[in-house]
Amino acid sequence: MRYVELEKRDGIAVIRINRPEKLNALAPEVLEDLEKAIDDVNADTGIRAVVITGTGKAFVAGADIKYIGTLDEEGGYRMAKVGQRVFGKIEDSPKVFIAAVNGYALGGGCELALACDFIVASENAVFGQPEVDLGIMPGWGATQRMTRRLGQGWAKYLILTGERISAHKAYEIGLVQKVVNHDNLMDEALNLAQTVASKGPLAVALAKEAINRAFQLGDFGFEYEAKLFARTVGSEDKDEGVKAFFEKRKPEFKGR
């Protein structure tokens, strides 16, 4: 892959978007490489958690504006569908994805971070949905995922004004889960990845699924939670977790 590096160690994968000369802007070929990396980690049963980050001073400074300039309405729809498919593979994955935001996360970059389960930000990070400055609106999920995460007030504020906000402001409004010293960003993100990777894999995957569906299911969400909960209670992982608790040792989960 030309624009994305993929490393795996001890059950954790790191996907690094690597087009620093254009601030990691997501041109179609970059998105294609990102999809390949996501498909790879999703198919790898040895991987439990994934950290996505960027090379240089940007996480991702957006979709590629040069490419956007070439699109007509039909091309715009196709582009929306490709990005939504790729980001959907993150959201729907049974593995935990963490965005380690090292710098600019604008437009499609902020949408990529929003598709991840947690966002850990360097204190240098800048977030925003500046599409309206270009006369367009977000097309890779921000109107939906940001609204679900932050509520309509902040989603409208950020998407309709295009204002760029600091990591600390992003933390204050609940967009970001942790703000850390820039030099510690990867260590903090990897620690968080290791924490979730040490938990019951089935429990983590099913809890993520139930939370993902919280806004679609209405009251049926409680029934859905009960069904998924029952699967975890009937699992070998539960037997192991309970046994390990009383034996005062770390559990060895198998994900079933």
Give the binding site for ligand DAK (CB under 6 A).
22-23, 25, 61-66, 68, 76, 79-80, 83, 104, 106-108, 130-131, 134, 136, 138-140
Of all residues in this chain, which one has the CB nearest to ligand DAK in the complex? 107
The single residue of 7, 111, 223, 236 carrying the catalytic annotation is 111
Going from the C-alpha of 197 to that of each of 9, 36, 94, 140, 205, the distances in angstroms are 12, 22, 12, 28, 11
Question: CB–CB of 222/230 below 8 Å?
Answer: no
Question: Shortest distance, CB of residue 161 to ligand DAK, whole angstroms?
Answer: 13
5 is catalytic: no
Question: Shortest distance, CB of residue 79 to ligand DAK, whole angstroms?
Answer: 4
The token pair at 211 is 């939370």
Question: Shortest distance, CB of residue 43 to ligand DAK, whole angstroms?
Answer: 26
Question: Shortest distance, CB of residue 57 to ligand DAK, whole angstroms?
Answer: 7
- Quick one: 45 or 70, whose CB is closer to ligand DAK? 70
The token pair at 28 is 């179609």
- Per the listing, tokens 């942790």 go with 178
Q: In what order do the strands lie in the sheet with 96-101?
A: 4-9, 12-17, 49-54, 96-101, 118-122, 178-180
Angle (nearest 5°) at CA 217 between 216 and 221: 135
The single residue of 131, 188, 236, 252 carrying the catalytic annotation is 131
- Quick one: 41 or 142, whose CB is closer to ligand DAK? 142
123 is catalytic: no
The catalytic residues are: 111, 131
